[in-house]
Structure 1
Amino acid sequence: MRGFDRINAVLPDELILEIFRHIESKPSRDACSLVCKRWLSLERLSRETIRVGASASPASPDSLVQQLGRRFPNIRYVFIDERLSVSLPVQYNRKRRRGFPLRSRSRYGFEPSVFGDDVMGTSYLSDFGLAAVGDSFVKLEKLSLIWCSSVTDVGLRFFAEKCKSLKCLDLQGCYIADEGLSAVGECCNLLEDLNLRFCEGLTDTGLVRLALGCGRTLKSLGVAACAKITDVSLEAVGSHCRSLESLSLDSEIIHNKGLLATVKGCSQLKILKLQCLNITDEALQAVGMFCLSLELLALYSFQKFTDRSLYAIGKGCKKLKTLTLNDCYFLSNKGLESLAVGCPELMHIEVNGCHNVGTDGLKSIGKFCVRLSELALLYCQRIESDGLSEIGKGCKFLQALHLVDCSGIGDDSICSIAKGCKNLRKLHIRRCYEVGNKGIIAVGQNCKFLKDLSLRFCDRIGDEALISIGQGCSLHHLNVSGCQQIGDAGIIAIARGCPQLTFLDVSVLQNLGDNAMMELGEGCPLLKDIVISHCRQITDAGLRYLVSKCTLLESCHMVYCPDITEAGVATMVTTCTRIKKVLVEKWKVSDRTKRRAGSIISYLSVDL
């Protein structure tokens, strides 16, 4: 019956709240809140996470925090990023922006003027706003302050005193000094996760005090670009943070002494990410001896350790599942073989810029790492044409393969992968100039589960390869940017064979024209993102047909397409109701188009 409420009269509040908690999409939650006043109130009660911008707004994020605190009382995670602009949930009343009521000014025991002039007129989060976060969100467990440069120790202390149940704190880019971090250590005794990336004001004093206060509960610690944090801090972490499971360290002044103390004291470490120029074999060998529960190891830009470290890690870290070796110059095939033999549970391996690692090291991975599901080889010039043969034979569960600038890898390697790894779902190849049609045809014939294919700047790949892919795979994501031999025939095959396609990059394809655009419009109705820049044969007609059919389109990059004119741009922004970004030359945007869709248009060049 029209006008009869079939839901609110039957469902209790608890059940509607539980339904809201299972809706992950913010737009969907927002839509639900508009149904009626009851749903609006219940949706506000169910919301646990908010993201707040802190820049480029006529309103102060300090006042926005207070508004959000009144509307969403059960928030547990607050994310404040000064790189993002403020987006007000309701129309903002400018008359109330001039100042807080007197009772609000004195709530925290200080006047806003303590933290600087004109707090409400600023477009960034101040100490007063941070104190308001602590007062407004009494159930807060996680706080992220990203590049909030105006927050100081005073505000952090007031916040810490209010939020004693805090478990996660991210202070990336905040100029917090020792007093603020010490306050967190004193008050937030349940803290489990701490990120101190680019906190340049910190010294050992603050981190040592935090370790003393939160050492029993701290499980994750990240320190990067903190020039005053030395081995003293890591010694305190090793002594007091016995439950630490994750350590991320990026430092030019940390030496063996600090890392040794940490790995000896924190035997439960599962995740270790290091970018430390002064660490040598001595410390990394200790990782293999003491970190027996290690599951993820990432080593970046190491120049002072050798295969001896990997031998020790392979001997001791039997639970290792993820390995990243980035610009480790003195590692060789022997070190990689030691890890492959000793760590049979390895599932994710990335080797990037390790110039002494070659074919033999890769073959050892294929022989011993039978559970491997993802492999990334970047700038590995010593891997020869048959380097992936053992991977194809031994790694039957491989689902993702990334190859970048591996000049020795050719069609034979890709054929081996295609025939042996039939569960492959993602294949990314960039600037591997020996890979041609033969290898990709084999992928189309054998890898029926492939969803994501990227073949950027592979000059030998042409239409034959994409015809095979279109006949054998149902892609969701395709990038063939810079593959000059691909034309209409290849893209038409994709359009006819991949109806689930949502992303397509065909930039710099000089032989691609309107026929391909029309076929894409007919065959790929789910397309959301397309890049057609530098495609000189695509015209307004092809673009018009594409956008008339692909009604879900959200972004389009089309710079340096000489036959796409002002009219084509206007057609796109008027036809695509969901469009969020259009990248085009400025001179192709008319005044009328600017008025209609100026917020979604980006310009590569101001004048051409």
Structure 2
Amino acid sequence: MSVLEESPDSPLKKRPPAPRWSDIWLKNTKPLKHVVLAMQLQSLASKDPKSQTLIPHFANIDRTLLLSDELLLTILSKLPLSQRKSNSLVCRRWLNLQGRLVRSLKILDWNFLVSCRFITRFPNLAHVDLLNGCLFLPRNSEILLTHRMVSTQMSSGFCSNLDLLEENLLPVEVVDKGLQVLANGCPNLRRLVVINASELGLLTLAEECLTLQELELHKCNDNVLRGIAACENLQILKLVGTVDGLFSSSVSDVGLTILAQGCKRLVKLELSGCEGSFDGIKAIGQCCLMLEELTICDHRMEDGWLAALSYCENLKTLKLLSCKRIDSYPGPDENLGFCLVLERLYLQRCQLGNKKSVRALFRVCEAVQEVLVVDCWGLDNYMFTFASVCRRVKFLSLEGCSLLATDGLVAVILSWQDLETLIVVSCKNIKESDISPALATLFCNLKELRWRPEAKSLLSSSLVGSGTRKRGGKFFKRT
């Protein structure tokens, strides 16, 4: 049996069939994709009654029309916040989608709030600030009022009672109407800042916005707190009663008691410019069992309120800000008590020149582990000795304490066996030359040390050799 072998030039070898035009056309489908895309876009445009023209060129095709709103929202949410403004200018569809991504907004124009544009433009708002929107903004005014809470233009008229914002606030009825519109349009609201609201406006807000967790209320009084008490899920609350030079209002023990009985889930509470006494703070401590942080700013409370802090059994952070006095007559030591689980004491811009106040404060906070004192007047060597009762301190930060000297600091911190971090900044009476061997040994055992007590000397040493001191010689000469 013979075997027939095929050679390359053999006429018996099968040759591939000649290509057909249909095969070539189907393999090169790239032009077909553009045609199909154009047909789909034209079909979408024909369904839109506002679109009456076809897309003439492939370069002008908006390929995002093929994406659903949900998918395009996901893409836009991944872009940085700096591009949101430019993205909203692409087209009307992107403008509406970008508005659905906005969660926080500061209202400057009250008419925009009460109009239906507010709800349709930003349907998913969670944080709203109405502070500047509740003010009249006079046109062509050259007077600009800037405060840590608000910055706005003011009228040129003279206000006799020196409360500059009183005459520029919107009426209470207008503010309540805006709160009603906000409550109906933003049921998922979680944070709100407002001024000059009434009990009725806050009740409407509490009924519609069940998820409201953070509220900052300016120009507050006892009657307004009846509405706040209806916010059962409120966790963070800031009450501003009186601000010298801006507006005045009154929050007393009556309002604090109403607040305590209604808002039992409070975790953080700040009382700024509020009145009250032992009874109001006691009610908060007994009812708000979840309270962990209490901030007292520029208080007007009666003497003896410090003893009520011991009723806040879960209080972990106590902040005193801009207080002209702490507690002039706190009462006997056996009635003070102390906060069992307090971890952090923060004092800023307070006057600590009263012996009874400072002694009672550290007595109540003797379980504290972190102490921060910033720009407080009156804290000298004698006043700082009262801090020696705080045996558990691990973190100490002193900044701007100009009356405290080195020996006063050493006398206290050497008795703290658990001290791990020490920060001393801009305390001019604490000299590096007064460092004793015991203090140097303490420095070696610390986990963190930031020692810059004499900022002036550090500045002078950094200017050596730069010739900065000589540059003004030709302008300022002794005669």
Bin the TM-score by the shorter chain. Answer: 0.5 to 0.7
Equivalence for 1:74: 124
Looking at structure 2, the residues matched to 283 and 16 of structure 1 have their Cα atoms a distance apart, in angstroms, of 67
AA matched with 1:37:
R
Q: Within the alignment, does 1:126 sit opposite 2:181 as a pair?
A: no
CA RMSD for the aligned pairs? 4.3
AA matched with 1:219:
V
Partner of residue 485 from structure 1, selected from 460, 469, 472: 469
Equivalence for 1:236: 283
Distance 1:333 1:370, change over 3 A: farther
Equivalence for 2:73: 17
Distance 1:134 1:83, change over 3 A: closer
Whether contact under 8 Å (1:60, 1:122) holds in the other structure is no
Unaligned runs of 5+ in 2: 1-57, 138-169, 243-248
Distance 1:281 1:126, change over 3 A: closer
Per-residue deviation at 1:82? Answer: 2.9
In the comparison of the two structures, how many residue pairs are matched? 370
Q: Within the alignment, does 1:41 sit opposite 2:96 as a pair?
A: yes
Distance 1:393 1:464, change over 3 A: farther
Whether contact under 8 Å (1:272, 1:294) holds in the other structure is no
AA matched with 2:409:
G
Partner of residue 28 from structure 1, selected from 67, 83, 88: 83
Q: Within the alignment, does 1:247 sit opposite 2:294 as a pair?
A: yes
Looking at structure 1, the residues matched to 470 and 134 of structure 2 have their Cα atoms a distance apart, in angstroms, of 39
Q: Within the alignment, does 1:343 sit opposite 2:393 as a pair?
A: yes
Q: Within the alignment, does 1:304 sit opposite 2:355 as a pair?
A: yes
- Please give the residue correspondences for 1:108-147 in structure 2 after superposition, counting only pairs within 5 Å: 126-145=175-194
- Please give the residue correspondences for 1:191-590 in structure 2 after superposition, counting only pairs within 5 Å: 191-199=234-242, 200-215=249-264, 217-227=265-275, 229-249=276-296, 250-256=298-304, 258-273=305-320, 275=323, 276-278=325-327, 289-298=338-347, 300-302=350-352, 303-305=354-356, 312=363, 316-318=367-369, 320=370, 322-324=372-374, 326-329=376-379, 332=382, 335=385, 338=388, 342-344=392-394, 346=395, 349-353=397-401, 355-361=403-409, 369-372=419-422, 375-377=424-426, 380-386=427-433, 390=440, 397=448, 409=454, 429=455, 432=456, 434-435=457-458, 437=460, 439-440=461-462, 461=463, 464=466, 485=469
Instruction: Give the secondary-structure state (helix, strand or coil) at the position aligned to 1:127.
Output: helix
Looking at structure 2, the residues matched to 34 and 283 of structure 1 have their Cα atoms a distance apart, in angstroms, of 67
AA matched with 1:268:
L
Looking at structure 1, the residues matched to 74 and 334 of structure 2 have their Cα atoms a distance apart, in angstroms, of 50
Looking at structure 1, the residues matched to 337 and 358 of structure 2 have their Cα atoms a distance apart, in angstroms, of 13
Distance 1:310 1:365, change over 3 A: farther
Distance 1:240 1:436, change over 3 A: closer
Q: After superposition, what is the alpha-carbon deviation per residue over 1:553-607, rounded to whole angstroms, capped at 9, x for unaligned?
A: xxxxxxxxxxxxxxxxxxxxxxxxxxxxxxxxxxxxxxxxxxxxxxxxxxxxxxx
Q: After superposition, what is the alpha-carbon deviation per residue over 1:35-73, rounded to whole angstroms, capped at 9, x for unaligned?
A: 33333222211111000125xxxx746536x43222111
Whether contact under 8 Å (1:463, 1:485) holds in the other structure is no
Distance 1:334 1:234, change over 3 A: closer
Give the TM-score of the pair, scaled to structure 2: 0.63
Distance 1:486 1:363, change over 3 A: farther
Instruction: Give the secondary-structure state (helix, strand or coil) at the position aligned to 2:59.
Output: coil
Looking at structure 2, the residues matched to 36 and 44 of structure 1 have their Cα atoms a distance apart, in angstroms, of 13
Larger radius of gyration: 2
Looking at structure 1, the residues matched to 383 and 327 of structure 2 have their Cα atoms a distance apart, in angstroms, of 23
Distance 1:370 1:164, change over 3 A: same
Per-residue deviation at 1:336? Answer: 8.0
Looking at structure 2, the residues matched to 314 and 233 of structure 1 have their Cα atoms a distance apart, in angstroms, of 19
Looking at structure 2, the residues matched to 486 and 13 of structure 1 have their Cα atoms a distance apart, in angstroms, of 66
Per-residue deviation at 1:194? Answer: 1.2
Per-residue deviation at 1:263? Answer: 2.8
Whether contact under 8 Å (2:368, 2:390) holds in the other structure is no
Unaligned runs of 5+ in 1: 88-120, 404-408, 410-428, 441-460, 466-483, 488-508, 512-534, 537-608
Q: After superposition, what is the alpha-carbon deviation per residue over 1:135-160, rounded to whole angstroms, capped at 9, x for unaligned?
A: 22111111012xx34x3333333333
Instruction: Give the secondary-structure state (helix, strand or coil) at the position aligned to 2:97.
Output: helix
Q: Within the alignment, does 1:180 sit opposite 2:224 as a pair?
A: yes
Looking at structure 1, the residues matched to 444 and 466 of structure 2 have their Cα atoms a distance apart, in angstroms, of 26
Distance 1:284 1:354, change over 3 A: farther
Equivalence for 1:110: none
Whether contact under 8 Å (1:220, 1:246) holds in the other structure is yes
Equivalence for 1:152: 198
Equivalence for 1:3: 60
- Identity percentage over the alignment? 19
AA matched with 2:102:
R
